[in-house]
Amino acid sequence: MLKRLTIFVILLVMIKPAYDLSKDIWDGVLQWIDENQVAEKIDSFNISNVEKQSAKEPIDETTSTITALRNTIHLPTKVQSVEELADAFYYHFSQWETDFEIQYAGSTSDIEHLLQQAVEDAANRDHYILGHLGDRKIEYEYGKYKALIKVHQEYLTNAAYEQYVDAQVASILSNVDANSMSDFEKVKFVNDYIVKNTVYSEDTTLSPHSAIAVLKEHKGVCQGYALLALKMLRELGIETLYVVGEVNTGPHAWNLVKVNGEWYHLDTTWNDPVPDRGNAVRYQYFLVDDATMKLDHRWEAGNYPKATSKQYAFMEKMDHAFEKGGYIYYSNLQDHHRLYRLNLATGENQRLTRSRAQYIVGAGDWIYFSNYSNGAYLTRIRTDGSEESIIYPEKVSDLLVEDGYLIFATDDGLKKMEIETS
């Protein structure tokens, strides 16, 4: 049989120049040869700790939200190139499929490199998927011109969890008018939401590295923080990337965000105080440039766009920030935590009082805070800095305004006080 096959091929090779043998016939011969080999080669390899790969800039995320992007994904009807192989991997990744097969028809002379390139290309199309990829095992049976590829892919999430994430993010974002918000306000909203609603912890039932853990259990680590930020910001129309790097304590993850055409770093994890301080939010790593970030973060800079603008450098001095009526009221880290007010429209910065303020909230014409210049007593002051007075002479923390009441923690438990709005 093999001898006859050899003769048949030789004859075709000799005849082809004279009779201009068509490509379809020739491809059919090659396929017949491939399918009738005495034995097929079988091989496999594992890819572990995929999350440690450096993410590269995605193929196309500039205008699409995650949901819109995934609605364009289709399983290729044929796979004959590395691009089509990447399309197939991307489809299965986007469906969070654990076990799947891909039929490949093409040269397999460098099959392992082909697969590695396709997987890398597929994963980098969507940084949200990339950040949730776990260990992977690929087995393949192949001849010269075909391969059956069998994949076992693990994730930090699954399809059911992602339905929950989609629903929760939609619910959270339904409370804001995205059309009227600036890019800055959108990023600040997401940063503040994650910080205020999350405790940095590995003590979770779900993977602490996932967005689902941060949303469902309100706990997680840097990877979960960054992936949820990525999800929320892209749904708000902010171009966002997932960054993998290192800090002094080891591997770390954060985001790059594009605000008004400029790239900035955003590290929601490092904006969340440890131990957790409830509603307290810090901004030392909010819209930061490369030079500032490199003081304590390391990453493969060539894999990401440059962030050179220092437009929002003023944010790093803020603690316990509260936004109201076009102003940010905050505890100034560079002035002994005294209460300041920043005009977002003009950039004007004003000290309202010499009192050291924490746990800042507001309602109506008043700002409330824990006065650390005077026993951490509950204090109020007009938004223009006038009429400062102590209204509860005990140590308070964790201030919150809700339904016309000021709620705060004391050594005796939570207290509630009806507040004036004028």
pLDDT tens digits for range 87-146: 999 999 999 999 999 999 999 999 999 999 999 999 999 999 999 999 999 999 999 999
Do 55 and 244 touch, CB atoms closer than 8 A?
A: yes
Residue 4 in this model has a pLDDT that exceeds 60:
no
- In 3D, which of 388, 405, 408, 379 has the Cα closest to residue 396? 408
d(CA 358, CA 64): 39
pTM value is 0.76
Do 143 and 118 touch, CB atoms closer than 8 A?
A: no
Structure token pair of residue 115: 């697969």
Q: What is the pLDDT of residue 237?
A: 96
Say how far residue 200 (Cα) sits from the centre of its chain.
Answer: 16
Phi first, then psi: what are they for 70, rounded to 5°? -70, -25
Q: What is the pLDDT of residue 402?
A: 87
d(CA 332, CA 372): 13
Q: What is the pLDDT of residue 65?
A: 53
Report in angstroms the alpha-carbon separations of 236 from 31, 104, 144, 232, 243: 49, 38, 48, 6, 19
Q: What is the pLDDT of residue 5?
A: 33
DSSP structural state of residue 203: -
250: alpha, beta or left? (left if phi > 0; alpha if psi -120 to 50): left
d(CA 401, CA 407): 6
Domain limits of the chain? 1-38, 41-155, 175-418
Name residue 243's amino acid: V
Residue 369 in this model has a pLDDT that exceeds 50:
yes
Do 64 and 236 touch, CB atoms closer than 8 A?
A: no
Do 299 and 57 touch, CB atoms closer than 8 A?
A: no
- In 3D, which of 123, 179, 118, 175 has the Cα closest to residue 147? 118
Average pLDDT over the chain, rounded to an integer = 84
Say how far residue 7 (Cα) sits from the centre of its chain.
Answer: 59
Name residue 412's amino acid: D
Q: How confident is the model at residue 33 (pLDDT cuts 50, 70, 90)?
A: very low
End-to-end, the C-alpha distance of the chain in Å comes to 97
Q: Strand 147-155's sheet: what is its strand order?
A: 41-47, 133-142, 147-155, 99-104
The fraction of the chain above a pLDDT of 90, given in percent, is 69
The per-residue pLDDT for range 153-198, each reduced to its tens digit, is 999 999 999 999 999 999 999 989 989 888 999 999 999 999 999 9
